[in-house]
Amino acid sequence: MSEERICDYTVCWMREQHAREICSWKYPGRLAVYNYPDWNECRRQGWDITDPARRLLSHFVILRRNELFAYFILRDKGSFISLGLGMKPEFCGKHLGHILMELAIRTYINEFVMDKPLYLTVLTWNRRAIACYRAAGFVIEEEYNDTHAYIPGHRYRMRWNPNYQ
């Protein structure tokens, strides 16, 4: 992986210490649906974030002056690349999402075959995240109800369109 950098922000592979910290993040209010179980429970359930080999295939972190700022996951799903992401709760709502999105998209461009589109999903009530994703060039392609996801609910499937910005 080539290192991506914006000012004080750097992308690198997720290590166990980062994964453990991410599992301890607690989002307030309605955003609490994004909280991970604690590290031991994630390990017991076999989550990718706890497996070094699987982390190395798809999990990245963004460090801000060596402090964990955010993470993203780029998974090759065959015909497309799936983007999952999260920002440290103390940085949410401070108009910093563009940094996370820019670095995740740069990593996608540098690490994956560009003939596979980039998608993400978002719960339809998460207006702040949707606005951030739109500003990064994502467009809504589908609205659906997912009852089988880790976080069930009504969501949008969004596709990155670099010409949309």
5-34 pLDDT, tens digit per residue, is 567 899 999 999 999 999 999 999 999 999
Strands 118-123 and 59-64: unpaired
- d(CA 11, CA 59) in angstroms, rounded, equals 10
Q: Are 62 and 99 in contact (CB under 8 A)?
A: yes
Residue type, 90: E
Return the DSSP state at 36: P
Q: How many CB atoms are located within 10 Å of the residue 120 CB? A: 22
110-127 pLDDT, tens digit per residue, is 887 678 999 999 999 999
**53 pLDDT higher than 90:** yes
- d(CA 64, CA 82) in angstroms, rounded, equals 24
- d(CA 69, CA 56) in angstroms, rounded, equals 19
